[in-house]
Amino acid sequence: MFPALFSQPYVVALFYSFFTLLAFAFYFIFADMSYCAYICPISAIRNAFSRDSFMWLGSYESACRTCTTFECAKACEFDQSPFNFDKNNSMGDCTLCMDCANSCAAISYKAKGSGFSLLKPIRKARNVDVWTYLLLFAFMTLTLKFTAVWNHAPGGEMLPWMWLTHGFSQAYPRSPVRFEALFTLLFSVGITLLLAGVGFRMAARTLKADRSRIFREVGYAYAPLALIASLGVAGESFFTRYFHSVINGFIEAFHLPCHFIAPLATPQTPWLHIFVFFDYLAVGWTLFLLWKRVTLFAPEKSVSKHLVTTLWLSMLPVFYLGLTFFA
């Protein structure tokens, strides 16, 4: 039946027309690295992490001032303009492939203070960057904090997501879904969006400014909360939950002549608290950046307005600080 189907001329025409249209679609999707820049989620995550990077790609202004060939921009597959990175305080969708540096000697790659670009105005600030910080915080930092510390602490069964986990596990005992992970993630996202949403709404009322503009320009201050705090939670989880699981998985998969190993630490292990340093660093840095970016956003407003706005926007980091302090 299948080969006979192609004996019909209109079927053959439809078949080749479909793949012709598909070829055009893929051409436009991947032209100028469009897929990587606008569709692939790794691009947004890469841009988010670049804000806390120690390294910065730029150019020597003295050499660029008389440039008429723009070889660095021509060499970039992402259609970026490296000579504008310093002026825009943003490297855009740069992947540090270094094609521009190979084409022009005026490109500079230098070490700077981590997160230095967050202390200055960002031209062409993007909503997607702020959304990335908030969702990374919810997916990674907050979910891991609840899972590793709070879900199985005394009284943890009274948490709403653990109550739902218990109910669904009893109702669907054979389900392959890990209800604890699912409900912890959903509540983490909900709490993050609720606190951030209320904060930006009240900040807009306080400053009498457009909420979307505040979100886009001040929201970059949440970068340390998403990126630095996750290091501490990931470190704790590695020693308490993941290291022994990975090693034991290798032992079982390859039938190695070894005994299964126990977790390297428990949540009560004293030395494990060194990772709390990342939480306090992230919260402190975020609070400072909120104040700094609020003053950059509305320099004409009074100090009291800046303070009230910063307090409203601080609900999310303060909430996380409370989780860390009372853990």
Q: Which residues pair with 111 in a beta bridge?
A: 55
- Which amino acid, 106? A
Residue 95 burial (CB count, 10 A): 19
pLDDT digit string, tens, across residues 28-79: 766 666 666 666 777 777 777 777 777 788 888 888 888 888 888 888 877 7
Q: How far is residue 156's CA from residue 140's CA, in Å, rounded to a whole number?
A: 20
Selected residue with higher pLDDT from 93 and 197: 197
Residue 132: band (very low, low, confident or very high) from pLDDT cuts 50, 70, 90: very high
Q: Is the pLDDT of residue 259 over 70?
A: yes
| Cβ-based neighbours of 145, under 8 Å, separated by 6 or more | 233, 320, 323, 324, 327
Selected residue with higher pLDDT from 256 and 31: 256
Residue 203: band (very low, low, confident or very high) from pLDDT cuts 50, 70, 90: very high
**Helices 127-136, 41-50: inter-axial angle, 10-degree rounding:** 90
In this structure, are residues 90 and 122 in contact, taking their beta carbons and an 8 Å threshold? yes
| Cβ-based neighbours of 36, under 8 Å, separated by 6 or more | 42, 43, 78, 93, 95
pTM: 0.81
Selected residue with higher pLDDT from 16 and 84: 84
Q: Calculate mean pLDDT across residues 125-135.
A: 91
In this structure, are residues 221 and 130 in contact, taking their beta carbons and an 8 Å threshold? no
- pLDDT value at position 43? 75
- DSSP letters along 67-123, please? --S-HHHHH-TT---GGGHHHHT--TT-----HHHHH-TTEEEEE--TTGGGGS--T
**If residue 56 lies in a helix (H) or strand (E), which one and from where to where?**
strand 55-59
Q: Calculate mean pLDDT across residues 137-145.
A: 92
Q: Is the pLDDT of residue 193 over 90?
A: yes
Alpha-carbon Rg for the chain in angstroms? 25
Q: Is the pLDDT of residue 289 over 90?
A: yes
Whole-number percent of the chain with pLDDT over 90: 39
Residue 169 burial (CB count, 10 A): 14
Question: Backbone phi, then psi, for 142, in 5-degree steps?
Answer: -70, -40
pLDDT digit string, tens, across residues 146-163: 988 899 888 888 999 999
Q: Calculate mean pLDDT across residues 4-31.
A: 71
Q: Which residues pair with 58 in a beta bridge?
A: 108
Q: How far is residue 319's CA from residue 315's CA, in Å, rounded to a whole number?
A: 6
Q: Calculate mean pLDDT across residues 87-109.
A: 85
- pLDDT value at position 1? 41
Question: Backbone phi, then psi, for 219, in 5-degree steps?
Answer: -60, -20
